[in-house]
A and B are shown apart, each in its own frame.
Chain A
């Protein structure tokens, strides 16, 4: 029994899949930066950014629906921006009396909240397309190429590799517990156990999972040392970017810059 559902990568052969991972990573980061820097209430620019995202989604052959469903995962985080509705100074829209306090919803507050929500929603869509069209090893290579510290990239790689092992282990533990969660034939007994006891068992499981992860990391480290690991992460040299990749990169960066300037001007 293995877990695959965690892996966001969807294999394919669309133009977006074929684009070099380095170009995709840089453009995704630039896109998110552009969205973040676009001023509040620059609606035409938001629409252009969204059109950009939808274009990429269609080109990637993932399906717009797929990306939108995934993007819904980011919605709860938008709640963090909710207080701006009440705190931004400006013309009052509605007064909400709550007990002795009165909350005032302001027009600039609402505008700011909708802007933040929109910006994070389209940014998340782009990140989802990146993760769904780029395999994780390619993504790691791309991170190395844009000079993310090598040790950090190595840690991401190991984490990714063993995350699945750990999840499998947790599932096997839960399966073993389920196998022993039985009901007695005696009618006077109620199965399930006390809540505190169950919490203690769950705590024990989490603890043993943690201990085993530490032990496993020791074994992995020894296996790495046995094969010559000396603390320095080495990697094969990166292949050169093709002319088409360069062209895509500069063209898109230029477009993003143009969008940002126009947003700042209006």
Chain B
């Protein structure tokens, strides 16, 4: 049995010399739901970008049982569904169908199977009616759901989301949370939305200045107001 995400002593500096990760170690079990919190610039997004090999730091990263090295990147990207903060970055095709179908078509699945995958993924996010809509004209909440569908259609083993509730109105936020709650899959979610973290994620990891400063049950960490304040967070 492998851990879904195993990171050992990961260091990364940006080309301009800024050290973004200073020895991060993190293990996530299959089907575990983990929240990643911390102030802006703590290194959350940088860490996330290591999980499918977009960035390559010094240290060991294994995802879904595979070491993140060049030969495995294709397989890893099929197993890791990464949803970026801005859904506009993720939706680059003319229609919703084309966008959700991108992953499966790229993998070379036969046409009929692609269609089934797209329909299933859109059904999971409750957007089945949007098949032929133009992504460009959707609301932020709708785009967010479609963005999640674009990775669900790849049947990923791990779902990684960067700020999923940022910029959503209360209703869109609530329905997105319900969606995340019902997905039975390994999840690593970076967020500033402490209420959502408390509601959905049993485990919480706090990052600050490129390090993991706390890792434990969400309830315990949330009760420690001094810890939250020390890292620019607020008790919900």
Query: Within the assembled complex, what's the spacing in Å between the Cα atoms of A30 and B16?
Result: 37
B90 cross-chain contacts in A, Cβ below 8 A:
176
Number of A-B contacts (CB under 8 A): 91
Contact B89 A173 (CB under 8 A): yes
Contact B77 A193 (CB under 8 A): no
Q: What is the 8 Å Cβ interface bit string for chain A, positions 86-109, against chain B (1 contact, 0 not)? A: 000000000000000000000000
Could you tell me how many residues of chain B have their Cβ less than 8 Å away from some Cβ of chain A? 34
Query: Within the assembled complex, what's the spacing in Å between the Cα atoms of A189 and B91?
Result: 25
Check: B154 CB closer than 8 A to any chain A CB. yes
Contact B77 A204 (CB under 8 A): no
Minimum Cβ distance to chain A for residue B2 (Å): 15
Contact A192 B108 (CB under 8 A): yes
Task: Determine which of B77, B107, B108, B109 lies in contact with A179 in the assembled complex, contact meaning CB atoms within 8 Å.
Answer: B77
Within 8 A of A (CB), among B141-184: 150-151, 154
Check: B75 CB closer than 8 A to any chain A CB. yes
Contact A181 B106 (CB under 8 A): yes
Check: A190 CB closer than 8 A to any chain B CB. yes
Q: What is the 8 Å Cβ interface bit string for chain B, positions 60-103, against chain A (1 contact, 0 not)? A: 00000000000000111111101010101111111000100011
Query: Within the assembled complex, what's the spacing in Å between the Cα atoms of A26 and B142?
Result: 54
Contact B77 A181 (CB under 8 A): yes
Check: B138 CB closer than 8 A to any chain A CB. no
B150 cross-chain contacts in A, Cβ below 8 A:
180
Q: Do A182 and B89 contact each other (CB < 8 Å), given the known contacts A172-B84, A193-B108, A197-B105?
A: no
Contact B102 A182 (CB under 8 A): no
Question: Taking beta carbons and an 8 Å cutoff, which residues of B are in contact with A?
Answer: 16, 49, 52, 54, 74-80, 82, 84, 86, 88-94, 98, 102-103, 105-109, 135-136, 150-151, 154
Q: 10 A-B pairs, CB-CB below 8 angstroms?
A: A178-B77, A179-B82, A179-B84, A180-B154, A183-B74, A183-B78, A184-B78, A185-B78, A189-B107, A212-B88
